[in-house]
A and B are shown apart, each in its own frame.
Chain A
Amino acid sequence: MKPPVLEVRKLSRAFGGLKVTNDVSFAIREGELSSIIGPNGAGKTTLFNLITGKLIPDSGEVLFRGERIDGLSTAEIARRGIGRAFQITSIFPERSVLDNVLVAILARRKMTGRLFRRATSCTEAVRESMEVLDMLSLAGKVNEKAGSLPHGDQKRLDIAVALSLNPELVLLDEPMAGMSPEERAGTVELVRRIWKERSLTLVFIEHDMDVVFLISEWIRVLNQGLLLAEGTPEMISRNRDVIAAYLGEEIE
């Protein structure tokens, strides 16, 4: 079995008296396409925030490729190879679609300090930006203002920005939230294709159980801050705790 890319050990974080992440431990294997599910307030986004350094855990450890990363800055963690897209779309709204991705690529190439050249004349970086945008079917909109794109396009742009960092591990927080059914179907295919082509380790949070059970190799279920269960879709769909706590009776 391949070594874990990311390992979370006894991770806890409380807000006031509320334990939003409660003694959570798991390991994500290399190349895995997995999802995190759980009812609202289960602590899914908080978990992403703890992994990416936006929040600092009260206790426990986060290990990326065997090295502790908890306590490091978001920037340092991103440089090590963890990319993230956001539940509430986080882009650069007044900039063009190309600029959104270009700045991420320049950041990865450590070119953001350069002063004496047009950003759009950095041919290699622009070419790479176009590739990423093409992959996410945004190539036809490179000159449009990001903030004026339709919602679905903005979500995909957010993913494009995350992928521009060439991360080894990608965390997608509800990548399909607010999309129409057709867009969802398209995005599911897109996510799966990118995962395959780039041989990424990919974790996504999602509420749409059809999507979750369709593409996940592995599912982790959070409930009230606790890791309730993890396993293959089949195992999860038969797990009594999960059914009781979250899924209800209507599974598949």
Chain B
Amino acid sequence: MRSWRSAKAIRLGEAAQWGAGLLLFGTVPLLGKSYFVTMANEILVMGLFAMAFNLLYGVTGMLSFGQAAYYGVGGYAVGLLLSEGIVPFSVALPAAMVAGGILALVLGPLCIRLTGVYFTMLTLAFAEMVWAVVFKWYDFTGGDNGIQGIPVPDVLRNPLRYYYFTLAVVFVCFWILRKIVESPFGATLQAIRENQERVGFLGVNVRRYQLAAMILSGAFAGLAGGLFAGYQRSIHPDMLHWTKSGEVILMSILGGVSSFFGPLVGAAVILFIEDMIGKYTEFWEICIGSIMLAIVIFFPRGVIGTLGARLEGMRGNKGAGNEATRS
């Protein structure tokens, strides 16, 4: 895979990706239209949500169809804490993360009892239950009205400032996620994805690591939800709807689950399509469907994954003649 590329070259390549990403998102406001800032903000938030999902799916191999529950609970944590005036924003946002993590700590053990498609169905079922509670509990969550007019601190009232705030938080999270994936803990998660049974034979309690992955994923999803609530200054049960869970799956697969930034790219592509085509027709889902079809046929490893492999393959042929071992 990397035998012909030095570790230094890989580091440089990665640094370039980070630099390009920061530059791109950092200069969006220079385009001068608030539309672009709103869009970029949404891409960052959903990108974080998708990358959190991918810690579970792409890294650990657990397909959860209920991540919207954690995203939504994070949003409601910020919304409720701020509109009730209980704590300042600086506490409410970390609380969103904690809320997502705690929900995963509660639901996780119930879900990881099963594997494969049964695990997926359980995640969906529990997420639907959380959604139903939020949807019906008018006194507490505002039911299907949600909550509007969430007060955010004056410094962040300006959408541009909030955008840069989001940018900073999201990229710090990306950096942390990257660290996690590369750590011994991350290596163990990836081994679980590859061959769960063998990891057990190494003396590792697999379920404990799966639960830890769910908690981390839930926490980052919660933070993404909290950031979204702060930007929109409103929350709605739709944040917990199963279609939201489906959206991050779609984004991750489209971008490529085996590449680190794949889910972020997938989020950008989907949100653009939604917005561009959504202007002309309410049937934009058909377009997403067709594009998904094309992706699966032409980019079986996601956009980033397939392009990356092509690029490496080309370089590999030029280089030592070493066959690109990534098939």
Q: Which residues of A contact B (CB under 8 A)?
A: 52, 54, 73-76, 78-79, 83-84, 86, 90-96, 99, 102-104, 106-108, 111-120, 122, 125, 143-145, 148, 161, 165
Q: How far is the CB of A54 from chain B (nearest CB, A)?
A: 8
Shortest CB-to-CB span from A150 to chain B, Å, is 12
CA distance A82 to B185 in the complex (A): 23
Smallest CB separation, A58 vs chain B (Å): 22
Known: A144-B3, A145-B1. Contact between A165 and B198, CB under 8 A?
Answer: no
- The 10 lowest CB-CB distance pairs between A and B, nearest first, are A92-B194, A78-B203, A79-B203, A119-B187, A107-B202, A112-B188, A143-B3, A74-B200, A103-B191, A114-B184
The reply to whether B194 and A94 contact each other, CB–CB distance below 8 Å, is yes
For residue B184, which residues in chain A have a CB less than 8 angstroms away from its CB?
103, 106, 111-114, 117, 119, 122, 125
- A96 pairs with B194, CB closer than 8 A: no
Contact B182 A119 (CB under 8 A): yes
Q: Are A106 and B2 in contact (CB under 8 A)?
A: no
**Which of A107, A114, A117, A148: most chain B CB closer than 10 A?**
A107
A-B contact pairs, 11 of them (CB 8 A): A75-B202, A94-B194, A94-B258, A96-B1, A99-B191, A106-B187, A112-B184, A115-B179, A144-B325, A165-B202, A165-B203
Compute the total of residue contacts between A and B using a CB distance below 8 Å. Answer: 111
Q: Per-residue 0/1 for B181-207: is the Cβ within 8 Å of any A Cβ (1 yes, 0 no)?
A: 011111110110011011111111110
Q: Indicate whether B327 reaches chain A with its CB closer than 8 angstroms.
A: yes
B242, CB-defined interface residue at 8 Å: no
Known: A92-B194, A143-B3. A75 touches B183 (CB 8 A): no
Are B190 and A161 closer than 8 Å at their CB atoms? no
Q: Is the CB of A112 within 8 A of B3?
A: no
Bound-state Cα–Cα, A115 to B179, Å: 7
**Contact between chains at A116 and B191 (CB < 8 Å):** no
Within the assembled complex, what's the spacing in Å between the Cα atoms of A79 and B200? Answer: 10
- B200 and A73: CB pair below 8 A? yes
Asked if residues B3 and A75 are in contact (CB atoms below 8 Å), the reply is no
Of the candidates B3, B180, B202, the one whose C-beta lies within 8 Å of that of A103 is B202
Residues on B with C-beta less than 8 A from A122 are 184
B284 within 8 A of A: no
Chain B contact residue count (CB 8 A cutoff):
31
Bound-state CA distance A107–B180 (Å) is 16
A114 touches B183 (CB 8 A): yes
> When each residue 202-216 of chain B gets 1 if its CB lies under 8 Å from chain A and 0 otherwise, what string results?
111110010000000
Distance between Cα atoms of A172 and B228 in the complex (Å): 54
Q: Kindly list 11 other residue pairs between chains A and B, CB separation below 8 angstroms, not including A99-B191, A119-B183.
A: A54-B197, A75-B201, A78-B201, A90-B198, A95-B191, A103-B191, A103-B199, A114-B185, A115-B179, A116-B183, A117-B183
Which listed residue (A52, A96, A111) contacts B201, Cβ 8 A? A52
How far apart are the CA atoms of A125 and B183 in the complex, in Å?
A: 13
From B1, B194, B202, A104 is in contact (CB under 8 Å) with: B202
Chain B residues lying within 8 Å of A86, measured Cβ to Cβ, are 198
Bound Cα distance A204, B258 (Å)? 37
Q: Is the CB of A103 within 8 A of B206?
A: no
Nearest-neighbour CB distance to chain B for A218, whole angstroms, equals 25
CA distance A9 to B179 in the complex (A): 48
B184 CB to nearest A CB, Å: 5
Q: Which B residues touch A113, using CB under 8 A?
A: 184-185
A144 touching B209 in the complex, CB below 8 Å, given contacts A78-B202, A115-B180, A115-B185: no
How near does chain A come to B252, taking the closest CB pair, in angstroms? 17
Contacts of B187 in A (CB 8 A): 99, 102-103, 106, 112, 119
Chain B nearest CB, measured from A69 CB (Å): 13
Q: Chain A residues near B180: list those with CB within 8 A.
A: 115
Residues of chain B with a CB closer than 8 A to A112's CB: 184-185, 187-188, 204, 209
Q: Are B206 and A75 in contact (CB under 8 A)?
A: yes
Tell me, yes or no, whether B326 is within 8 Å of chain A by CB.
yes
What is the distance, in angstroms, from B324's C-beta to the closest C-beta of chain A?
10
B60 CB to nearest A CB, Å: 13
Closest B residue to A76 by beta carbon equals B203
Q: Please state if B188 and A143 are interface contacts (CB–CB under 8 Å).
A: no
Chain B residues closer than 8 Å to A115, beta-carbon distance:
179-180, 183, 185
- Evaluate contact between B203 and A103: CB separation under 8 angstroms: no
**Complex interface: chain A residues within 8 A of B182 (CB):** 118-120
CA distance A118 to B7 in the complex (A): 13
Expressed in whole angstroms, the Cα–Cα distance for A75 and B3 within the complex equals 33
Across-interface contacts of A103 in B (CB, < 8 A): 184, 187-188, 191, 199, 202
